Amino acid sequence: MTQLPIYTEEHELFRRTIRDFVATEITPFVNEWDEAEEFPRELYQKVGAVGLFGIGFDEKYGGLGDHDPILLSIVSEEFARCGAGGVAASLFSNYIGAPPIQTGGSAKVKAEIIPGMLKGDLICALAVTEPGGGSDVAALETRAVRDGEHFIVNGQKTFITSGMRADYITAAVRTGGAGPSGVSLLVIPTNAAGFYATPLEKMGWWCSDTATLYFDDCRVPAEYLLGVENAGFRLIMENFNYERLLLISGMVGASRLCFDEALSWARERHTFGQRLADHQVIRHKFVEMDRMINATKAWMEKLAWQVLHGDKPVAELAECKVQASLTMEFCAREAAQILGGASYIRGNPVERIYREVRVNAIGGGSEEIMRDLAARQLGL
């Protein structure tokens, strides 16, 4: 298939590299990892060795330089081909936990964390959501109080990807008054006294590490403050744009995998004297899946191009995330209908993706929150 002009030769080479890596190092093992509810930590080093953590990080730390949202979307889309979203969810917590460190961290903090993260030796996580509130970031309650050269942190975070394995947590904390103007971002080393975490069991993303975090008079050096105190809300919002692009492209990849799995089955399966793919009702299912995937991917590519050129299409990113989760849900359902009973057996990628629909429709901002965000951005 001819690629759009937005994809350079470097993009295409990177895509082939990722596709080969996923096919060799990940796909053969995802059933085992999902059942074990974890994957080997060594996978981080393998990903780091081929440069897949480096997008948007300074070359002096071992990164690939300027942020390329098109490259980022390629990584997420290709990793979805393994058929287990929990792998990418945990691996790429680095891409939601570490960018604020790149943007707002001191030279000392960046040198301490980013090189090791890029190599896969260190894991970063982002902690925003709290037990008492989800997408209402401005209402968070975890508090950090300045005490000389330290912050004393108290509170909880939950549904945190890589919360058990992370070496550093980029946490949204309240350092000032109510509302967004009192929010800061603070990097918290997980070996700090007063920090502990407990794992969560989930509907999907079984091999992804997800946790509730607890801060009990957790003492964190003040040098780990990102940017200016009480000015962290903007950093969080800007970071969400890249997180949503990652989620959108991952959902596009998962939707296409559902299509491919169902098509392979329908070409081989025979019912009532003909291939399943020859029944009109089944053929129409494939057309609808293909139509929705192509529309969502085209929108994703447009948004990646806009972000690359300095735009901040907040409303469209929110709308496209809704479009992507609805597309994924539709494709997972239709693929399951086409596979029939086979789609209900564990180890089948369609079965796994079906279970992963909800986390994609909720994580990074639920469909309802995304619609409301878009409405506000549109001045409604």
* Helices then strands, each counted (H, E), the chain: 13, 10
Does residue 1 lie in a domain region?
no
CATH number at residue 54: 1.10.540.10
**Which letter, b or e, does each residue of 276-295 get, where b requires 16 or more Cβ atoms within 10 Å of its Cβ?**
bbeeeebeebbeebeebbee
Domain assignment present for 67: yes
Catalogue the E-assigned strands of 118-227.
124-127, 143-147, 150-161, 168-174, 183-189, 195-199, 210-221, 225-226
Does 152 reside within a domain? Answer: yes
Helix axes 232-268, 280-308, angle to 10 degrees: 150
Burial tier of 143 (Cβ tally within 10 Å: 0-12, 13-18, 19+): middle
Domain assignment present for residue 3? The answer is: no
Tokens of 106: 């001191």
Residues 273 and 173 in one domain: no
373 and 248 within one domain: yes
Domain boundary at 204, 230, 256, which? 230
Spatial neighbors of 314 by CB under 8 A, at least 6 apart, are 237, 241, 373, 374, 377
Residues 242 and 350 in one domain: yes
So what's the pLDDT on residue 274? 92
What is the DSSP code (8-state) at residue 224?
Answer: G
- Decide if 4 is inside a domain: no
Last residue of a domain, one of 230, 262, 282: 230
Question: In b/e form, how buried is each residue of 151-160, taking b as 16+ CB within 10 angstroms?
Answer: bbbbbbbbbb
H or E segment and range at residue 251: helix 232-268
Instruction: Count how many Cα atoms sit within 13 Å of the Cα of residue 75 in the half-sphere of its side chain.
Output: 24
- Clarify whether residues 361 and 244 are in a common domain: yes
Tell me the residue range of the domain where 151 lies: 124-230
Task: Write out the catalytic residue numbers.
Answer: 243
pLDDT score, position 366: 92
Segment holding 373, helix H or strand E:
helix 367-377
Structure tokens at 31: 């059933």
CATH number at residue 137: 2.40.110.10
Q: Is residue 73 part of a domain?
A: yes
Query: Which tokens hold the place of 39?
Result: 């994957």
Tell whether 307 and 225 lie within a shared domain.
no
If asked whether residues 274 and 348 sit together in one domain, one would say yes
Helix ranges (H only) for 93-174 are 94-97, 99-104, 107-119
Residues facing residue 114 across a β-bridge? none
**Residue 333: inside a domain, yes or no?**
yes
Q: How far apart are CA 88 and CA 46, in angstroms?
A: 13
Predicted confidence pLDDT, tens digits, the chain (380 residues) = 556 688 999 899 999 999 999 999 999 999 999 999 999 999 999 999 999 999 999 999 999 887 899 999 999 999 999 999 999 999 999 999 999 999 999 999 999 999 999 999 999 999 999 998 766 777 899 999 999 999 999 999 999 999 999 999 999 999 999 888 999 999 999 999 999 999 999 999 999 999 999 999 999 999 999 999 999 998 888 888 889 999 999 999 999 999 999 999 999 999 898 998 999 999 999 999 999 999 999 999 999 999 999 999 999 999 999 999 999 999 999 999 999 999 999 999 999 999 999 999 998 889 999 999 999 999 88
CATH number at residue 254: 1.20.140.10
The domain tally of the chain equals: 3
> Tell me, what's the pLDDT at 3?
62
Domain end, chosen from 95, 119, 143, is at: 119
If asked whether residues 177 and 161 sit together in one domain, one would say yes
Same domain, 185 and 115: no
Residue 312, in any domain of the structure: yes
Could you give the 3-state DSSP secondary structure of residue 50?
A: coil
Same domain assignment for residues 103 and 198: no
For position 2, what pLDDT does the model report?
58
Closest CA to 172 of 244, 90, 104: 104
| Amino acid 329: pLDDT | 98
The structure tokens listed for 337 are 């209908």
User: Could you tell me if 238 and 367 lie in one domain?
Assistant: yes
Provide the CB-side half-sphere exposure for 135 (13 A, CA): 15
pLDDT value of residue 279? 95
Say yes or no: 84 and 183 in one domain.
Answer: no
d(CA 353, CA 30): 12
Q: Which of 63, 87, 93 is nearest to 166 (CA)?
A: 93
Dist CA 134 CA 9 (whole Å): 41
**Cβ–Cβ under 8 Å, residues 47 and 79:** no
| Alpha-carbon span 73 to 59, nearest angstrom | 20
Same domain for 105 and 164: no
